[in-house]
Amino acid sequence: MATLARHLPRVHIARPRRLSRSGRPKEPPLWLTLVELYSALALIVGLVIGLCFLIAWLTTGSAI
What are φ and ψ of residue 7, in 5° steps? -100, -10
Question: What is the C-alpha separation between 19 and 5, in angstroms, rounded?
Answer: 31
Domain boundaries, the chain: 28-64
pLDDT given at position 20: 55
Question: What is the C-alpha separation between 32 and 58, in angstroms, rounded?
Answer: 39
pLDDT given at position 7: 62
pLDDT given at position 24: 76
**CA distances in angstroms from 58 to 16, 50, 52, listed in the order given:** 51, 12, 10
Helices and strands per DSSP (H, E), number in the chain: 1, 0
Question: For 7-59, how does the pLDDT look when each residue is reduced to its tens digit (9 = 90+)?
Answer: 666 666 666 666 556 677 889 999 999 999 999 999 999 999 999 999 999 99
